Amino acid sequence: MNMEETNLESTHEFFDMWVKTYEATLGKVSEIPAIGPLREKSEKISRGFPLFFSLYSTWMDTVVDFQNISMEALKRMNAKTVTLEDKTGTESYKELYNIWMESYSETFKEFMKSGHFSSDMGRFTSNFLDVQKYNREMLEENYLKPSNLPTKSDIDELNKELYSLKKQVKELSGRINELSGNK
Amino acid sequence: MYELSSIEKEYNKLMSGFQIFLKMPEVSVGTTPHEIIYTEDKMKLLHFLPTVEKTHPVPILMVYALVNRYYILDLQPDKSVVRKLLDDGFDVYIIDWGYPSGVDRYLTLNDYVNGYLNNAVDLVRKRSGLDKITLMGICQGGTFSVMYSALHPEKVKNLITLVAPVNFDTQKGLLHIWAKNLDADKVVDYYGIVPGDFLNSGFLLTDPFRLMIDKYVGMFDRIECEPGDETCLIRNEEIVKNFLRMEKWIFDSPDQAGEAFRQFMKDCYQKNLLIQNKLELNGKKINLKKITMPLLNIMAEFDHLVPNEASIPLNDAVSSKEKETVVFPTGHIGIFVGSKSQREVCPRISKWLTPRSGLDEETPDTKIKTSKRKSKKELHES
């Protein structure tokens, strides 16, 4: 391995070697049953970092998008307000408000119609839900389960059971009605 | 001097508005007298008490969307599609879907269309003693009505759709564009019951500046301030009340049953299966060609939620010989509550529906046979 190289390939190569060495030596220790639960927990905790990072990065993209679009709206508004220069009184304030509203509303609507905004919002919502899901899992894992309290999946399971039971009752009632000639 | 007095006027307007707001007038919605004739889980079937001595024999069952509440059709006495239809002699029923909770998380589109809606239709048929009734679907309720009419054409005499999407592959409406990139699986898997607020924030984003700022400014701008004028005070209070009724409706967004939401988003908004006759409910494909009853397809020209392109293709997709498209120059909500709605939309529906709501009448294309109506005694016994 040539450590003088400056490209990313050598970094990857070094990292792979390090992982393999770790797994063959110290990593073996963490596989001992007594240490297993701790390892699982740390793995779960570390799984959150990339999720938080992705959310932060899409959030920043969204912020930048909105900043740019606000600037564009401001430019459009400025171009329209030239006509107001000679006017005074409350009517001119009203007109200014109307120009502001029209410029911002139209510019934002234009932006929101774009595929760019749509895909950004989709990514943001998706990443947001990933983080929310992770937070809930952690809450369940660390607080609800040890306290012997029902988790979301426990409740969902009950809801599903209740749904299928209700459905079955409705079907059976329908059949009974049919057989008794009520329907 | 002029400038000072006009500033004073604006200030007085603002203060008058605040004073009315501080008193917080009570607003009531959905006031047309009605009875609840059927309940199933969260769903209720409402029957409005007729306002004429003799109603048209064929009743109307109105089906509203799962998002927001049905009472937009009966917002206030002078802005009520329901009241207008009652006054025109129709027997009107409406489905209130209620507020789904965790236990409704697994309800599917099939449960809504072949379950609740079908049971409501059967009950209305039974009460009227007729085989077929008029189905009037609004917005998403219109989509459900279209699905239902294709699956059970033998129970629907007339189909009216109001601002109802059937073709979801359009780039005109923002919701149609955004829905393509929404991971419905993630939303449903996380929330289970999709929060109404989550959807409402999407609706507000369709025009954030007008919906979150301008409409409030507009409300204060409508306040009049003539010192000592009592009738002006009454008018102001009415302006605020009307505004609050609308606000109440806008933010009254029920949560959505997860599985139904998932299927509606994926099969309708993302894959556009309904118009292609590929959508399945309970393993049965919905073929729109099976819709043969008269169809009135109503749209709003400036609809920002359901663009006309989403509704127009319905007429070509069905086999009905009598089909009509009407577009009114209004918006998605204005079509129910705007003054135009009361002046033009409702009379147009009545005009189309009246000759089709009689017993054994000769319709332009076919004679529809209806069964003998049940007497009140028979109804009571059944």
Per-residue pLDDT at A138: 92
Same domain, A67 and A145: yes
Same domain, A100 and A140: yes
Same domain, A102 and A165: no
Per-residue pLDDT at B379: 41
pLDDT digits (tens, 9 = 90+) for A79-135: 988 777 666 666 678 888 899 999 999 999 999 988 889 999 999 999 999 999 999
Residue with structure tokens 């003539």? B226
Residues A105, B103: C-beta atoms closer than 8 Å = no
Per-residue pLDDT at B3: 59
Q: Smallest CA–CA separation between A41 and chain B, in Å?
A: 22
Per-residue pLDDT at B375: 45
Residues B217, A97: C-beta atoms closer than 8 Å = yes
Residues A121, B3: C-beta atoms closer than 8 Å = no
Same domain, A46 and A103: yes
On whether residue A2 sits in a domain, the answer given is no
Q: Is B316 on the interface with A (CB under 8 A)?
A: no
Residues B122, A105: C-beta atoms closer than 8 Å = no
Note whether A89 and B146 are within 8 A (CB).
no
Same domain, A174 and A95: no
Q: Is A166 on the interface with B (CB under 8 A)?
A: yes
Same domain, A23 and A87: yes
Residues of A within 8 A of B110 (CB-CB) are none
Q: Which residues of chain B have pLDDT under 70?
A: 1-5, 25, 227, 360-382
Same domain, A140 and A50: yes
Per-residue pLDDT at B381: 45
Residues B3, A90: C-beta atoms closer than 8 Å = yes
Same domain, A35 and A99: yes
Per-residue pLDDT at B128: 95
On whether residue A158 sits in a domain, the answer given is yes
On whether residue A174 sits in a domain, the answer given is yes
Same domain, A122 and A179: no
On whether residue A81 sits in a domain, the answer given is yes
Same domain, A181 and A143: no
Q: Is A118 on the interface with B (CB under 8 A)?
A: yes
Give DSSP secondary structure letters for B104-154: GTT--HHIIIIIIIHHHHHHHHHHHT-S-EEEEEETHHHHHHHHHHHH-GG
Task: Find the mean pLDDT for residues A11-38.
Answer: 76
| pTM score of the predicted model | 0.85
Quick one: DSSP state of residue A180?
Answer: T
pLDDT digits (tens, 9 = 90+) for B316-361: 999 999 999 999 999 999 898 888 777 899 999 999 999 999 875 4
Among B139, B47, B41, which residue's Cα sits nearest to residue B90?
B47
Cα-Cα-Cα-Cα dihedral sign, residues B336, B342, B345, B347: positive
Q: Is B103 on the interface with A (CB under 8 A)?
A: yes
B139 labelled catalytic: yes
Domains and CATH numbers, chain B: 2-26+213-250 (no CATH), 34-195+255-377 (3.40.50.1820)
Residues B190, A132: C-beta atoms closer than 8 Å = yes
On whether residue A61 sits in a domain, the answer given is yes
Residues of A within 8 A of B194 (CB-CB) are none
Q: Is A116 on the interface with B (CB under 8 A)?
A: no
On whether residue A3 sits in a domain, the answer given is no
Q: Domain span at residue A177? A: 154-183
Q: What is the number of structural domains in chain A?
A: 2
Same domain, A167 and A143: no
On whether residue A72 sits in a domain, the answer given is yes
Same domain, A121 and A174: no
Residue in B139, B225, B268, B346 annotated catalytic: B139
pLDDT digits (tens, 9 = 90+) for A137-178: 999 988 999 999 999 999 999 999 999 999 999 999 989 988
